Structure 1
Amino acid sequence: MVAPTLVHAVPCRKRIARHFDTVIRLFAGAFAGCICLLPSPALPRTSAGMSAADRCPRVAGEILVKMRAAASPAALPARSAAVRKSSAARVSRGGLWRMPIPAGLTEEEAAAELRAEAPDLVEYAEPNYIIHAEKIPDDPLFGELYALAEADGRGDIDARAAWEILTGGEVPVAVVDSGIDYEHEDLAANIWTNPGEVPGNGIDDDGNGFVDDVRGWDFFSGDNAPGDAYGHGTHVAGIIGAAGDNGRGVTGVGWKARLIPLRFMGPDGAGSLGGAVQAIDYAAKAGARVISCSWGLNVYSQALEDAIRAADAAGAIVVAAAGNSSSDNDAAPIYPSSSPSPNVISVAATDRNGNLAWFSCWGPQSVDIAAPGDEILSTVPGGGYRLMSGTSMAAPHVSGAAALAWARTPGASNTEIISEILDGAETLAPLRGMVRTSGRLNLYRTLSPGTVEPPPVTDPDLHSVSLVLNGNAFSPGGRLELSAIVGAGAQSAHTVCDGYVAALLPGGRLFFLAPGGRWSPSPVPIATGLGVTDDMDAQVGAFPVTESLPSGPYAWYAVLTAPGAGPLDGASRTSNLAHTPFAVVP
């Protein structure tokens, strides 16, 4: 998604175009934007001392107005000179309207006057901010789908293992963006079709207010052809649900997801907040289980929050990109990523090495999880493929994961699906203190909740210990190298420890590597009597592998325990994942 710029922002121009007076930026890459805050009526408005909101562009000559229940916008011109006596345009059936204002008033002045003069009619009023897409330049090198499956496992989401469980289902996913090239060879088969609409008859068959909306709607142009003249939405759509196993191009996270094109941005990547609200409202009412929002606004909007809450009430998940200003969202929030609504998943970006991408925003409280977002190959308009980078590319990986999880458990609630995604995150050291889960999306664990690492086993010696599994030679003739590391804060030393290496197969079967290189279904330590001291950071040993495992995707575990403690918790699961620090607590 494309994100608005925060603390390191380049100031917005007072007026970007005839219809632009406030900008939000899509998170397709690093962005230059502004912190847009609504001023109080008493703020000075001199050119030398403009407020942050004054410096941010918005649609000129109109505001968004939320009417109170049973109140009509037609009554407002008689109560306040802040709106003109001309027709208002409905934004949502929840009482949100787009209303023209007279010349001589700024959007903030009109909104403030309307709130003050008609409080019994108006719940709130605010400028109609503009969202603008801005992407990082494409990498000229040919890209690989490292985000889905990589040989060394450092940067991917374990998609291959997950696809052994499920490749997809026809779960509706709304792409609220710049549109989708719905005729692209890798997307056409997965474009959603409105079951209540008869194509081409000029009638609003399903009574939703949109005529012939067979495959979504274009809120930018006001028609039923939500194609993509900018490219951002098509790239996002391919990450979510490019058709899998079709012999063409790339593969999306969910091979059969039903993509709902909802366009609110024009060919320059800019669109209004009102259009975004309309698109989210449409998605929720159309039955979208997931709403993918790869864009952001660095000023709070009540209209946007209302749309997100309505989507929550409809049971939908909103997946939002965290932003690309390489800044702390806890300190400078971006919306909808920072929305407090429980149905929002905020997504940061990682690179192919599992590090937080250089451009990605973070927030240990406000950003939930990370996903691959650097140099991602996906679909673009015209039938092509291109690399793009940004949290705009990270968020759709999570959108696709949510669709897959719902295909596996159709009766689950949105909060249950969110829990499976967040609980299944793969803990990575570079993400500690950066995102709430300290982890990156792991598709296999999302679809196999039993593989989520449980709390560590009790250790009376109060050590913080890591056992790192190096190498991936798990076939006959291979060798495994184990290293033990005592982490910071160790208070005493184990004199000896036991070490285990385990493989988790589909169906929950565990096999342990035994001395001599054979695999055992019973917990057998690969080594015992391992000396561990409070300054240890050394190789434990290299062990041969002489026997093949049964076929299937594996999740690898490496566990260091006190002597005789065993590697399993009460649910008979291994106690920590390979490459994941193993905190031993009392």
Structure 2
Amino acid sequence: MRKLFIALGFAFTLGFAQAQTAEVAKEKWYHVGIKQTGVYGVNTDQALQFLKEHKRKANTIIVGVLDSGVENFHEDLKANMWNNPKEIPGNGIDDDKNGYIDDVHGWSFLGTAKGINYNDDTTEITRVYKHLADKYNTFDSKKNQAAASQNPTEYAEFLRVQKEYLSEVGKAKYNQQVGQARLNAVEGGINKMVLEFGDTKLSKDILKNYQTLDSQVLEALWIFGELKEEQWVGKTMKEVANSYLGSARRAAKGDALTSHLNLNLVDRKDVDNPNDKTERFYGNNDSNGPESSHGTHVAGIIGAVRGNNIGSEGTVGGNNVKIMSVRTVPNGDERDKDVANAIRYAVDNGAKILNMSFGKTFSPDKELVWDAFKYASDKNVLIVKAAGNSNEDIDVDIHYPTNFRNGAPVSKSVLTVGASTKDPKALKARFSNYGKQSVDVFGPGQEIYATYPGVDQYRFLNGTSMASPAVAGVAALVWSHYPKLTAEDIRNILMETVNKNEQLKDISVSGGVVDSYKAVQKAEEIYKQRKLK
């Protein structure tokens, strides 16, 4: 009876997954137009047709991707990567005298001058808690009371942070135990399937017709109902096992406890002096880094090569974009100092648009980032950033970096993006943050297909991290064809030309999803009004 229950449950799950995939999974859905399809894509092709009809030629535009790194040799990105024209690769000399040696495709603020990179870092709450705990968590009630009386506001903040930090520790311990239990439950069965299936490429029919009397294998089959089809269809069982068991092993090791929440890893003195807020010239030229999956996907959404008949295509709609990779975000929370320096680096080296698909709930050095925002706006640079993925109202629960200081915007050229879906009946992605004041527009951010590390690899990913570059690419499409507009113009155009929807009316400033066709129409209108050529 138990075997029958497992088999029936497995078949039902596969059927459900198949129906869902047939309904929503399209590699190019985020490029379509609402009028033609009923789907809120960014309408790339119609925009390009409009530009062709109006004889608008594209100028090269540099987009800075401030992220985990970008695989600059990927088949669908390498032709559109930024190459520093004033730097001679590999000679160990700062040829352009910008303070960064051999910065050919960009720079990494997450490594040493000797080329040693790091990937894991703590969360910001860990760093804040460590700083405050050094003052207040003495386990001596009299000393605590004395310290609290001297600075009651800070002590109250410590208690708040301590509660949240220790809650995160508790959750990490729970997840560690779940990961170990999962590993214990399926590892034996999965390893047996690896031997049995060998180099066979998996398909739904193969698994549907698969028969075995091995109870250990039968008890492991449920993982295929949990996985998305693109995670196993067309792959060998060994590839599936490496990915699935690797994730379970990482959870069982308690990576969050050993890195993100580890108080001993707060001071990153092997890379730079985290307490020196004026330091700018550190890191190395490895703009790819040890783990560039997030940044590579983001870069592809913006600027994957168009017209090469492989992979995906960027929302910039052509090959006039150059992607500058500025490695800023580790596996953990980005540091405010790195964010500020990354913005300044990208601006100083010619980027006109910066994409920032990251965020956190604490920002002890937010002034550094605000100063960098102002620096970018003064240099006529547009910043496009993700709203975050915790389904919160960020007017209330602030998500950093924020463009608001004491309720007032710091810059007029920052655009914050929420994530939308291809389902017009449920337009806001469930995970997306929102805010009537703090989220400007929405962009496609669910099941987005784009480049992934591995030279010829591509993946579907979800997040406002995907919505932000979708919008950044549209901004680059417009600005590259209408270069005499300002960063503020581009921001306003994208906001004024959204496809509005009642579902987004009260959760964003513009109340809609960006549309590149309407945006170029508006840009053309402004050019004519201002008599620009």
- TM-score interval for Structure 1 and Structure 2 normalised by the shorter chain: 0.5 to 0.7
Query: Any idea what SS the aligned residue of 2:326 has?
Result: strand
Select 2:323's aligned residue among 241, 253, 259.
Answer: 259
Query: Any idea what SS the aligned residue of 1:205 has?
Result: coil
Match in the other structure for 1:361: 433
Instruction: Say whether residues 1:147 and 2:209 are aligned partners.
Output: no
Residues in 2 aligned to 1:407 and 1:359: alpha-carbon distance in whole angstroms: 32
- CA RMSD between the two structures: 2.2
User: Given that residues 391 and 433 in structure 2 are in contact (C-alpha distance below 8 angstroms), is that contact kept between their aligned partners in structure 1?
Assistant: yes
> Residues 408, 423 of structure 1: CA spacing in aligned structure 2 closer, same or farther, 3 A cutoff?
same
User: Given that residues 482 and 523 in structure 2 are in contact (C-alpha distance below 8 angstroms), is that contact kept between their aligned partners in structure 1?
Assistant: no
Moved more, 273-282 or 330-339: 330-339
Query: Any idea what SS the aligned residue of 1:334 has?
Result: coil
- What are the residue-to-residue correspondences of 1:149-164 with 2, within 5 Å? 149=32, 152-164=37-49
Select 1:335's aligned residue among 393, 400, 416.
Answer: 400
Query: Any idea what SS the aligned residue of 1:176 has?
Result: strand
Shift of 1:153: 3.0
Q: What amino acid does structure 2 have at the position aligned with 1:171?
A: I
Per the normalisation by structure 1, the TM-score is: 0.51
Q: What amino acid does structure 2 have at the position aligned with 1:285?
A: D
Larger radius of gyration: 1
What do the CA deviations read for 1:333-380 (whole angstroms, capped 9, x no partner)? 212244422111010111102411111111111110000101111111
- What are the residue-to-residue correspondences of 1:246-395 with 2, within 5 Å? 246-254=308-316, 255-256=318-319, 257-266=321-330, 268=331, 270-300=333-363, 301-339=366-404, 340=409, 341-354=411-424, 355-382=427-454, 383-395=456-468
Residues in 1 aligned to 2:511 and 2:21: alpha-carbon distance in whole angstroms: 32
Select 1:414's aligned residue among 477, 483, 487.
Answer: 487
Residues in 2 aligned to 1:325 and 1:154: alpha-carbon distance in whole angstroms: 24
Query: Greater strand share, 1 or 2?
Result: 1
Moved more, 440-449 or 338-347: 338-347
- What are the residue-to-residue correspondences of 1:453-468 with 2, within 5 Å? none
- What are the residue-to-residue correspondences of 1:409-448 with 2, within 5 Å? 409-448=482-521
What do the CA deviations read for 1:106-139 (whole angstroms, capped 9, x no partner)? xxxxxxxxxxxxxxxxxxxxxxxxxxxxxxxxx9
User: Given that residues 218 and 262 in structure 1 are in contact (C-alpha distance below 8 angstroms), is that contact kept between their aligned partners in structure 2?
Assistant: yes
Query: Any idea what SS the aligned residue of 1:234 has?
Result: helix
What do the CA deviations read for 1:251-298 (whole angstroms, capped 9, x no partner)? 0011221100111234x3554222222111101111110010001132
Shift of 1:429: 1.6
Residues in 2 aligned to 1:333 and 1:144: alpha-carbon distance in whole angstroms: 33
Match in the other structure for 1:194: 84
Query: Any idea what SS the aligned residue of 2:325 has?
Result: strand
Shift of 1:246: 1.1
Moved more, 145-154 or 161-170: 161-170
What do the CA deviations read for 1:506-541 (whole angstroms, capped 9, x no partner)? xx9xxxxxxxxxxxxxxxxxxxxxxxxxxxxxxxxx
Query: Any idea what SS the aligned residue of 1:165 has?
Result: helix
What do the CA deviations read for 1:82-118 (whole angstroms, capped 9, x no partner)? xxxxxxxxxxxxxxxxxxxxxxxxxxxxxxxxxxxxx
Residues in 1 aligned to 2:400 and 2:387: alpha-carbon distance in whole angstroms: 8
Query: Any idea what SS the aligned residue of 1:147 has?
Result: helix
Shift of 1:451: 9.4
Match in the other structure for 1:224: 285
Query: Any idea what SS the aligned residue of 1:307 has?
Result: helix
Select 1:165's aligned residue among 40, 50, 54.
Answer: 50
User: Given that residues 32 and 39 in structure 2 are in contact (C-alpha distance below 8 angstroms), is that contact kept between their aligned partners in structure 1?
Assistant: no
> Residues 249, 154 of structure 1: CA spacing in aligned structure 2 closer, same or farther, 3 A cutoff?
same
Query: Greater helix share, 1 or 2?
Result: 2
Residues in 1 aligned to 2:70 and 2:447: alpha-carbon distance in whole angstroms: 20
Query: Any idea what SS the aligned residue of 2:90 has?
Result: coil
User: Given that residues 365 and 435 in structure 1 are in contact (C-alpha distance below 8 angstroms), is that contact kept between their aligned partners in structure 2?
Assistant: yes
Instruction: Say whether residues 1:243 and 2:305 are aligned partners.
Output: yes
Q: What amino acid does structure 2 have at the position aligned with 1:210?
A: Y
Residues in 1 aligned to 2:518 and 2:314: alpha-carbon distance in whole angstroms: 18
Residues in 2 aligned to 1:357 and 1:424: alpha-carbon distance in whole angstroms: 21
Query: Any idea what SS the aligned residue of 2:491 has?
Result: helix
User: Given that residues 478 and 523 in structure 2 are in contact (C-alpha distance below 8 angstroms), is that contact kept between their aligned partners in structure 1?
Assistant: no
User: Given that residues 337 and 367 in structure 1 are in contact (C-alpha distance below 8 angstroms), is that contact kept between their aligned partners in structure 2?
Assistant: no
Match in the other structure for 2:273: none
Match in the other structure for 2:470: 397
Shift of 1:215: 1.0
Where do 5+ consecutive residues of structure 1 fail to align? 1-138, 453-507, 509-586
Where do 5+ consecutive residues of structure 2 fail to align? 1-19, 53-57, 112-282, 529-533
User: Given that residues 244 and 252 in structure 1 are in contact (C-alpha distance below 8 angstroms), is that contact kept between their aligned partners in structure 2?
Assistant: yes
> Residues 269, 235 of structure 1: CA spacing in aligned structure 2 closer, same or farther, 3 A cutoff?
farther
User: Given that residues 321 and 337 in structure 1 are in contact (C-alpha distance below 8 angstroms), is that contact kept between their aligned partners in structure 2?
Assistant: no
- Aligned residue pairs total 315
Greater relative contact order (Cα < 8 A, sep 6+): 2
Runs ≥4 residues deviating over 6 A: none
What do the CA deviations read for 1:177-222 (whole angstroms, capped 9, x no partner)? 0000000000000000112212222211111110111110111112
